[in-house]
Amino acid sequence: MPDQPEQPYDGQAIAPTGGGGAYDLAMAEAETLEKGPPATPDGTGPDNKPRSLWSDAWHDLRRNPVFLVSGLIIVFLVLIAIWPRLIADGNPLDCDLAKAQQGSQPGHPFGFDTQGCDVYTRTVHGARASIQVGVFATLGVALLGSVLGGLAGFFGGAWDGFLSRVTDVFFAIPVVLGGLVLLSVVSSNTVWPVIGFMVLLGWPQISRIARGSVITAKQNDYVQAARALGASNTRMLLRHITPNALAPVIVVATIALGTYIALEATLSFLGVGLKPPTVSWGIDISAASQNVRNAPHMLLWPAGALAVTVLAFIMLGDAVRDALDPKLR
């Protein structure tokens, strides 16, 4: 018997197709379920098509003053971390003991520290180590935690139970105490041991967030439709689940970035994080704490830079959370 024309789909006639075309049509229906019903005029783009979650979030972020302010601060910090000589021509290791603990002078607005080093130059150059630790630690934590937690949430079973017990063990380790123990046996002048320590103890939080997000996403109608139509696990994970489960991970990772910068400063203050001659806000704060009464400017500027940086990333995370959480709109 000749093939009969199929029923119209979305108001347009569909030409008769074979087995492969029927599968593509079915997958298109699953993707239509994933996108949801057509948006109202307030939720459409310039071409009158429904906006996705990400385009809708960007639409809100561009109008959020908290995002704009924090974004400008972060862009400035990243620029001076990459090219500190844009605003500080001096050498942070060039010191003169004759100027130790002296206050502000022409060309040296922040004064000098105990070794006679320019506090302004060290504060600017200290952004590189702090930003580097925060960014790479966040990327490592987000990648490792998302992969392990996402696979556990998707497959469940014994793997999910095993990962849950492992995360419980890591949650029981105090972060600062773990840093004191692990980093005290590592002798290195680079940032990588600190980054590795943060990834080692930081992935369980992201893992639990990713696990819960994947469990929620895989119960949606579009995932069930794709499964019923024979989509592979890889296709469901990459095409349907991952894009819709990333939002909570991005929010937590953005806020955690500021936390990792503060943690690096804490470990450096305690003497087990970054070590001289590396220039770091935590190292400068540790050196200034012993002379805070005689030369408060030594502590004020690196501590202020650290506080502004952490606050900027926390503000950015709050703005991203507000934009990606439909319940808050």
Rama region for 16: left / alpha / beta (φ>0; ψ in -120 to 50; rest): beta
253: CB partners within 8 A, 6+ apart: 138, 141, 142, 206
> Inter-axis angle of helices 119-155 and 297-324, to 10 degrees?
30
Q: How far apart are CA 138 and CA 321, in angstroms?
A: 17
| Global confidence as pTM | 0.78
Q: How far apart are CA 222 and CA 205, in angstroms?
A: 28
Q: Given pLDDT bands bounded at 50, 70 and 90, which one contains residue 194?
A: very high
CA terminus-to-terminus distance, the chain = 54
Q: How far apart are CA 79 and CA 181, in angstroms?
A: 34
Q: Which domains does the chain have, with CATH numbers?
A: 59-91+111-328 (1.10.3720.10)
pLDDT per residue as tens digits for the range 51-108: 666 777 788 888 889 999 999 999 999 999 999 998 988 889 888 888 888 888 888 8
Interior angle at CA 266, CA 110 and CA 168, nearest 5:
155
- Find out whether 250 and 53 touch, Cβ atoms under 8 Å: no
Q: Which residue has the tokens 């003991």?
A: 97
What pLDDT is attached to residue 164? 87
Q: How far apart are CA 176 and CA 261, in angstroms?
A: 13
